Structure 1
Amino acid sequence: MRAPAARRCVAVLGGSFDPVHTGHVLLAEHFVQLLQPDELRVIPAGNPWQKHGLQATPADRVEMVRRAFDGQRVPVYIDEQEIRRTSATYTIDTLRALRAELGAEVSIVFLMGADQLLHLDTWQHWQELFDYAHLCAASRPGFDLEEAHVPPAVMEQFTRRGGNPQEIRSTAHGYGYLASGLAVDISSTEIRAQLQRGTRPDSLIPAGVLDYIEQQHLYRNQ
């Protein structure tokens, strides 16, 4: 009897990337190693409703993302759909668009840090996200994934929908997964402050991204 065909898996990482930093890269690499996806889809935000005043232009943020994720173990595709969107950016709209593009059978895995998980219940139609993708969160220092710290409704969803990497890899959507051990705590706000002061945050930004920031004189006069 023939074994079933392997299901394609696409890991999705969204963010303002203003600027992209080492934490973003390590988060992606953590789940690439865990899930072995066929593609990493990186989506720079256009007009995120919970953040205001992005400092770098969309073109600059796309170029920083390209440099940051160059050389990954899986193919990387920079998806500009949110940048092209003229209305406010909501993750639910992005995942709906991805599902329509990729089809019903592909495993779509939306990646987030634990800081995002703590505010997940404020996102537009957040419970519907599971209808289009799996949601995977990784912990970082200062963000406890225990029930006392995660909103009860979010913890209930992740507990009820808890899956392992194999289940996530072999189904299209619907699972939640909480990964621990990603010891990264980097703030884009602090990075911008250091750059404005003329300090080089070498350990916080991939070298190619820092070179681009300096070449383009980004974050100097904000």
Structure 2
Amino acid sequence: MKKVGLLGGTFDPPHIGHLVIAEEVYHQLKLDEVWFIPSNEPPHKDKASTAVINRVAMVEAAIDDNDHFFLKTIEIDRPGKSYTFNTIHLLKEIYPDTSFYFIIGADMVEYLPKWNKIDELINMVKFVGVKRPEYELDTNYPIIAVDIPGLDISSTMIRNRVKQNKPITYFVPSSVRRLIKENRLYESSERTRDC
């Protein structure tokens, strides 16, 4: 049976932390592939600050040089909130011979009891909890724990650095940095007017 890791998120923008997590889980769990799944509307966050077309283009650019990373637009192709249960249900219908490993950060592990249809979901997919120093993977749900090198990078931090005209070199792949610059993503309204 094929083993596929799933990494969901707004990817607004995708950054080096996302890629390190995906690569480490890929190797440690001996997966066949990792699929990046940009969300349409995440149920636990506000809407993304960037249009879907830009987020998809950035993910494509970020994973372009990796032969076991793939983009799947299953949540974007479906309107409304992107509930994991619906995504996994559909993926299992489309790919019945695939075992899915849903990758979540340690911060999300504590929220599992609040997830939509979590008791059904836990029987449909294996959850992979990415360990971070400031969080314990303390849960009653079955979680595969994976240690990841500590990288304190977030999409919010990158967006703020762009707004403040600070460099984001090495925080995101150079191809993503180019797209951010070319499309003037995340710039403050003052910077946009000045240009």
1:64-88 alpha-carbon deviations (Å, 9 max, x no partner): 11111122252x3211111121121
> What's the counterpart of residue 104 of structure 2?
112
| 8 A contact 1:115–1:143 mirrored in 2 | yes
Q: Among all aligned residue pairs of Structure 1 and Structure 2, give the percentage whose two residues are the same amino acid.
A: 30
CA distance in 2, matches of 1:91, 1:185: 25
1:14 is aligned with what amino acid? G
Unaligned runs of 5+ in 2: 190-195
Over 4 Å off, 4+ runs: none
Unaligned runs of 5+ in 1: 1-6, 159-175
Q: RMSD of the TM alignment (CA)?
A: 1.5
> What's the counterpart of residue 166 of structure 2?
199
TM-score normalized with structure 2 length: 0.90
SS at match of 2:75: helix
CA distance in 2, matches of 1:184, 1:140: 9
118 and 186 in structure 1: CA distance in 2 versus 1, 3 angstrom threshold: farther
CA distance in 2, matches of 1:141, 1:204: 20
Q: 89-98 or 121-130: which moved more? A: 121-130
- Picking from 141, 158, 169, the partner of 2:133 is 141
1:130-164 alpha-carbon deviations (Å, 9 max, x no partner): 2221111111232222xxxx3xxxx2222xxxxxx
| 8 A contact 1:140–1:184 mirrored in 2 | no
By percentage of residues, which structure has more strand? 2
| 8 A contact 1:141–1:183 mirrored in 2 | yes
SS at match of 1:41: strand
Matched, 1:33 2:4: no
SS at match of 2:113: helix
1:174-206 alpha-carbon deviations (Å, 9 max, x no partner): xx3012243122222121111111111223211
- Picking from 157, 166, 172, the partner of 2:141 is 157
Matched, 1:12 2:1: no
- Picking from 52, 55, 60, the partner of 2:49 is 55
2:44 is aligned with what amino acid? Q
Number of residue pairs matched? 189
38 and 181 in structure 1: CA distance in 2 versus 1, 3 angstrom threshold: closer
> What's the counterpart of residue 131 of structure 1?
123
Matched, 1:213 2:177: no
| 8 A contact 1:9–1:109 mirrored in 2 | yes
Cα deviation, residue 50, structure 1? 1.2
